[in-house]
Amino acid sequence: MVANTQLHAAGTITLYEIEQNFDLNSTSNQTDMQYYIADDTDPWIGTISETTSNMKMTDYYGSSPDTGRIIVDEKNDDDGGDYQNGYGSLYTNFLDPENPHDPGYLFGHITNTTPGLGMTLQGIYSEWYWDAYPGGRMFILGFKNSSLPDTHWDELYLRFPRGGWSDQNLTFYRADATSGLQSSSTHNNHSGVYYYVWYEEHTGREADAVIAAQQYMEEASTYNHPVYYKFKKT
């Protein structure tokens, strides 16, 4: 498989290139094009914009398997102000495992949990973590895999369509994140989950992205706006 690829936006596209880009001949559980085409997909972020039965090769311009759409929801831990906005499975309480609100609690929805990165996404969300105040805002990416896929992606793009306001685009750089493995014999629901965390308390582009993501994720939850993501290898 050719991971983290994006088809070119002009010229000739072949069936072979589509097969390679989306790993259509593998034994993966997402080898059908239905996983990559959907209503209201967003061409800017690299998803396929049409779902007709007579699609043209040019409909695949700029497409990528490493994209998805998040329907944002909020999870509130009721422990003094800790809450998250975004998508999270039951393995998303990475930073506060000693007080799990509910290990079986899911929030939000995501259209593609297995991008071509060797991992299954468990969470993409912003978090206000009261216990870490000041500098309590964070942005978190969590996944399940046998090892950290450090070489598979460099940047996580997020696009926030905001209704009557201007759309906003954010980039989270893997090089800025703190990464690790959540493993605990006491809280087995969280073991085996790898995570990347970006902190508000850090300076520069990392802090700027975290602060902005908090605002836009909360807006997406309040106004039912989708959020688009894309992983990219530079």
Query: Within 13 Å of residue 30, how many CA atoms lie on the same side as its CB?
Result: 21
pLDDT of residue 106: 82
Q: Is 163 exposed, middle or buried (0-12, 13-18, 19+ CB in 10 A)?
A: exposed
CA-based nearest residue to 45, from 144, 169, 218: 169
* pTM, full prediction: 0.80
Amino acid residing at 169: N
Over 70: is that where the pLDDT of 26 sits? Answer: no
Q: Which of the pair, 25 or 175, is modelled with greater confidence?
A: 175
pLDDT of residue 36: 61
Residue with tokens 């209503």: 39
pLDDT of residue 20: 78
In the chain, where the domains are located: 15-60, 67-232
Could you tell me if 162 and 219 are in contact, meaning their C-beta atoms sit under 8 angstroms apart? Answer: yes
Locate 151 and state its tokens.
Answer: 């070489």
Q: Is 60 exposed, middle or buried (0-12, 13-18, 19+ CB in 10 A)?
A: buried
Assign 216 a pLDDT band (cuts: 50, 70, 90). very high
CA–CA separation, 12 and 154 (whole Å): 27
Over 80: is that where the pLDDT of 130 sits? Answer: no
Over 50: is that where the pLDDT of 101 sits? Answer: no
Assign 96 a pLDDT band (cuts: 50, 70, 90). low
How confident is the model over 29-44, as pLDDT tens digits?
Answer: 555 666 566 555 555 5
Please report, rounded to a whole number, the percentage of residues in the chain having pLDDT higher than 90: 25
Q: Which of the pair, 7 or 213, is modelled with greater confidence?
A: 213
